[in-house]
Amino acid sequence: MNKNLRKGLRTWIEIDKKAIKHNFNVFRKLVDKDCKILSVVKSNAYGHNFIEFAQEQEKLNTDFLGVDSMQEALALRREGLKKPILVLGYTVPERINEAAKKNISITISNFEFLSAVIKSGVKIKVHIKVDTGMNRHGFLENDIKKVLKILKESGNIIVEGLYTHLSTAKDPKLTTYTNSQIEKFNKWRDAFINAGYSPICHASATGGALLFKNANFDMIRVGIGLYGIWPSKESYLYLKNKISLKPVLSWRTIVAEVKKIPKGSKVGYDGTNIVKKDTILAVVPIGYWHGYPRALSNLGYFLVNGKKANILGRVCMDIIMIDVTYAGKIKVGDEVTIIGKPARTTIQSGGSKNAEITADEISKLLNGSTYELLTRINPLIKRFYI
């Protein structure tokens, strides 16, 4: 990236637009031509900046944009996005009128909210969510007749869609439970069609789209896959030789200070790291406020000059210390990679051009979730779409 773009910044994030296009096309080719794609941009697009990510999805001609809340949906409309938007999460009744005015589709998953939508009196597009075994939001199987009766009697609800969420579809070995969910969903689908409705039916998120073609129906909801992340280790191992996903996010910072400390020195709060050799230490100006997990104290690592630089001591709120003893000649202002591959222009002699730190790799160190790691990156950090 051009250094002038990030001038004055201590940390920033780069988003690769070519990788976004690649990932979208992977899913476009996975499904039939008449199967729609809903691009999930909720939760700040999994940490990637949802306004700009949604704009990229519109350019790629996605069919729907999926958000969690009305706040996100309205923000997209204010920015001029025209594609259909579905609010996947709970909508408070006070926002029903706004949704209708801005042509935003909302989810109905219980009788209380169904009643609130009817009482609002406004014509509005809805997607009925059914619970086929996830046991989160959604009507239950024995609600089918009651739901259809109420919908038929309402004069303002436009049934645009019908959907469910598959709980184990990202594991190719757990076919029995996933197929049982698909069977239950088919009962709802048949009932709605027999009642005269023609809803857009959707069940698959990224995992389902990759592994369960019988769950594609009329639309797939692609989230983590668009960002180049596999939904699970199992799906990656199963499909790695057939499908390539490209991570789109790189996270950078800079060296703020360099110093030599003698063997036996304690580093950071509580002196949790005692160096076993004379060490060259670099200080970088990011910490857990920025979204880098404190649990990676004395465990995580960054890339400096294409070489691994281990974290020394506690991850602080705004500061992390790293060992750059073997990273070559390091000076204040040098670029440090937190996630991604180092920029080739930052590699000195002896550094590896193929070095990379993936979000999955970091999450594995934590025995945690890549989704969580990415969505917790501070939204105030500048994202550059390049």
Catalytic residue positions? 42, 269
Q: List b or e across 304-332, with b for residues whose CB sees 16 or more CB atoms inside 10 angstroms.
A: bbbbbbebbbbbbeebbbbbbbebeebee
CB neighbours of residue 49 within 10 Å: 21
Tokens for 142, please give them. Answer: 């024995």
How far apart CA 107 and CA 130 sit, in angstroms, is 10
User: How far from 296 is each of 47, 277, 312, 363, CA to CA, in Å?
Assistant: 19, 22, 10, 10
CA-atom Rg of the chain in angstroms: 24
User: How far from 96 is each of 40, 110, 123, 173, 210, CA to CA, in Å?
Assistant: 21, 15, 10, 41, 34
Closest residue by Cα to residue 252 from 316, 333, 354, 165: 333
| Long-range contacts, stretch 93-101, CB < 8 angstroms, 24+ apart | 93/117, 93/120, 95/70, 96/120, 96/122, 96/124, 97/122, 98/70, 98/74, 99/70, 99/73, 99/124, 100/124
